[in-house]
């Protein structure tokens, strides 16, 4: 534990609102600047010297190890170990939940100003070590420098934004004061929560879900992805450094089938915040809906479960802008974003020229080592590698291969696949319906704008979408009829910014959680109305 411990409930706390300025998104780094580039190279060298360490579970402050291990490796160099972590068993989940339940008794009563200050302190530490965290992301999940920087910046954004929103929530009032009464409204914490984040934004989403719960007075059992456990362990170390009390967050690395399942079904776990696949998200939702013996509440689920996102290119679109937006949205971080464009729906009048220009643009994308800041790196692991190649094989039976379609062999045996584009895909084809989560794009021809909207809406998902058009009428129609949680006009469908683009989707894309928005913290609280006769 750090010596600068969080103040107790009885200590005087200076409200952060007295010194907080307005919220602004964290600026991205310019890696073309010589000093910034040199700093990133130094950070990569520093992190390289720390690879292979073993990290414990941390349950109520107790360091715990196990015989069975999770070994995290570099997807660009699978023989390179990033970190080794104990794999929690059911008994460890029980210990973690009990530690969180005990900590909740005091943390839930700590002043909001104190909880907010924790987020601000953590934000500052991460800002000070921004390039170091970028380097961990590059090594553990294969992000190039810009993608890693965006992940770290979003982490800072979540912490800063939720700190300010917590202060606003603490100042909530009733719409009216009833005559003869003093009416107050408080948003109180739920209790112990399970946070189960994904590997593709292993810092931002993990930290955002965790600290949204913490700043509202809850305690957390954090079960990171087995593909990104080291980043979670490094973040947890910052929490301790900043004085987080024992048990407020408990680091419980483990598999989804064992630790994750035990956590979701535990009768003392009040809520589950999950980001991942539709398949697993539905299991979480179904499991949480079953009341366990001794359970006194209805569990709440906050779910983000992926997408099959489309960009519509209308007949009056700026073709060059659309090509650039589709290329970036489809192949940024190798298509491994729930918001990634996996379908381009192109009007027949532009279809051929769009396909030609997109192929020309995508074939300029270089594939290689993320640590060397090559744009397209590997997919995350061997399972993802096989899945993407299997979908490419399906695509060859469903459409016309325009470019890519094969793995990239490297000396280090990384999990590289060329950016791949298929044309002439039917709207109902598997390539147009199933989430691939890799660098594969399906191009679908539309005969009219009406048909384009129908195609865009014909999947079970509804996360992000975009439309390129010069027509205000078409944009307004899309605003009403394009059924997604995050819709963008004349820009790519990835890159949601905290505060500006509250993020979450419809249908099988989840519970429309709107992370990074003004409503998000409400998901981790319950309203308590108090009326006093005067």
Q: Which residues are catalytic?
A: 304, 338
Query: What is the radius of gyration, based on Cα positions, of the chain?
Result: 23
pLDDT at position 11: 53
Mean pLDDT of the chain: 96
Tell me how far apart the alpha carbons of residues 75 and 84 are, in angstroms, rounded to a whole number. 15
Helices 204-215 and 112-128, interaxial angle, to 10°? Answer: 160
Span 3-56, pLDDT tens digits: 345 554 345 456 676 678 899 999 999 999 999 999 999 999 999 999 999 999
Half-sphere exposure of 323 (CA within 13 A, CB side): 18
Q: How far is CA 192 from CA 206, 225, 238, 273, 297, in A?
A: 16, 19, 21, 11, 12
Would you state the pLDDT for residue 15? Answer: 66
Q: Tell me the DSSP string of 91-148.
A: HHHHHHHHHHHHHHHHHTTS-HHHHHHHHHHHHHHHHHTHHHHHHHHHHHH---HHHH
Tokens coding 315: 């007949």
pLDDT of residue 9: 39
Query: Which 3 state secondary structure label does DSSP give 198?
Result: coil
Burial 375-414 (b: 16+ CB within 10 A, else e): bbbbbbbeebbeebbebbebbeebbeebbbbebeeeeeeb
The answer to whether the CB of 294 falls within 8 A of the CB of 307 is no
Q: Are 183 and 412 in contact (CB under 8 A)?
A: no
pLDDT at 12: 45
Q: At what angle do helices 145-170 and 204-215 cross, to 10 degrees?
A: 10
**pLDDT of 21:** 87
Neighbour count for residue 352 (Cβ, 10 Å): 12
The CATH code of the domain at 309-497 is 3.40.309.10
Identify the three-state secondary structure at position 279. helix
Name which of 161, 266, 172 is nearest 211 in CA terms. 161
For residues 494 and 428, what is the distance between their CA atoms, to the nearest angstrom? 24
pLDDT digits (tens, 9 = 90+) for 361-412: 999 999 999 999 999 999 999 999 999 999 999 999 999 999 999 999 999 9
DSSP letter assigned to residue 25: P
- H-run or E-run covering 479: helix 472-481
Give the phi and the psi of residue 405 in degrees, each rounded to 5. 90, 15
Q: Residue ranges of the chain with pLDDT lower than 70?
A: 1-15, 17-18
Sorted by where each begins, the domain ranges of the chain are 16-21+32-305+513-533, 309-497
* H or E stretch at 59: strand 57-59
Find out if CATH 3.40.605.10 is the number for domain 16-21+32-305+513-533: yes
- What end-to-end distance do the CA atoms of the chain give, in Å? 47
Identify the pLDDT of residue 16.
76
Indicate the pTM of the whole model.
Answer: 0.96
Q: Which of 223, 208, 232 is nearest to 141 (CA)?
A: 232
DSSP letter for each residue of 305-318:
----EEEEE-TTS-
What's the rounded Cα separation, in Å, for the pair 372 and 31? 12
Query: 329: which 2 tokens?
Result: 């949205």
Hunting for tokens 């899309």 — which residue is that?
478
Tokens of 454: 């129908």
CB atoms within 10 A of CB 111: 18
């Amino acid at each position: 534990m750090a010596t600068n411990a969080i103040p107790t409930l009885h200590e005087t706390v200076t409200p952060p609102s007295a010194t907080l300025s307005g919220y602004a998104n964290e600026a991205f780094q310019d890696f073309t600047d010589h000093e910034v580039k040199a700093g990133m190279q130094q950070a990569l060298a520093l992190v390289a010297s720390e690879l292979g360490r073993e990290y414990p579970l941390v349950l109520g402050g107790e360091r715990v190890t196990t015989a069975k291990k999770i070994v995290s490796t570099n997807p660009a160099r699978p023989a390179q170990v990033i970190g080794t972590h104990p794999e929690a068993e059911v008994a460890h989940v029980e210990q973690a939940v009990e530690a969180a339940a005990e900590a909740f008794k005091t943390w839930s009563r700590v002043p909001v100003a104190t909880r907010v200050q924790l987020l601000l302190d953590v934000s500052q530490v991460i800002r000070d070590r921004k390039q170091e965290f970028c380097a961990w992301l590059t090594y553990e999940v294969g992000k190039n420098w810009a993608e890693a920087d965006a992940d770290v910046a979003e982490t800072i954004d979540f912490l800063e934004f939720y700190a300010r929103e917590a202060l606003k929530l603490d100042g909530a009032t009733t719409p009216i004061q009833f005559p003869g009464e003093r009416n107050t409204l408080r948003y109180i914490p739920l209790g112990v929560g399970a946070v189960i984040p994904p590997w593709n934004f292993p810092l931002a989403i993990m930290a955002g879900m965790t600290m949204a719960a913490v700043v509202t007075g809850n305690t957390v059992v954090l079960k990171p992805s087995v593909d990104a456990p080291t980043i979670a362990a490094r973040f947890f170390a910052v929490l301790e450094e900043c004085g987080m009390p024992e048990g407020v967050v408990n680091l419980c690395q483990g598999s989804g089938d064992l630790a994750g399942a035990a956590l979701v079904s535990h009768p003392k776990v009040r809520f589950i915040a999950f980001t991942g696949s539709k398949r697993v998200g539905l299991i979480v939702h179904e499991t949480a809906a079953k009341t366990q013996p001794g359970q006194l509440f209805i569990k709440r689920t906050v779910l983000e479960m992926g997408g099959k996102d489309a960009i519509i290119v209308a007949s009056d679109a700026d073709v060059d802008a659309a090509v650039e937006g589709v290329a970036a949205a489809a192949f940024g971080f190798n298509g491994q974003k729930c918001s990634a464009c996996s379908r381009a729906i192109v009007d027949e009048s532009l279809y051929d020229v769009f396909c030609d220009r997109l192929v020309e643009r995508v074939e300029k994308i270089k594939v290689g080592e993320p640590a060397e800041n090559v744009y397209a790196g590997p997919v995350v692991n061997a399972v993802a590698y096989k899945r993407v190649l299997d979908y490419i094989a399906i695509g060859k039976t469903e459409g016309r291969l325009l470019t890519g379609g094969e793995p990239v062999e490297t000396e280090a045996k990384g999990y590289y696949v060329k950016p791949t584009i298929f044309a002439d895909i039917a709207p109902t084809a598997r390539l147009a319906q199933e989430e691939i989560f890799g660098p594969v794009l399906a191009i679908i021809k539309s005969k009219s704008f009406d048909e384009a909207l129908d195609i865009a809406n014909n999947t079970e998902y509804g996360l992000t979408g975009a439309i390129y058009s010069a027509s205000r009428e078409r944009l307004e129609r899309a605003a009403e009829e394009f059924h997604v949680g995050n819709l963008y006009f004349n820009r790519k469908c990835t890159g949601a910014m905290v505060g500006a683009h509250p993020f979450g989707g419809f249908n099988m894309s989840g519970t429309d959680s709107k992370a990074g928005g003004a409503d998000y913290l409400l998901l981790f609280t319950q309203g308590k109305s108090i009326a006093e006769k005067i």
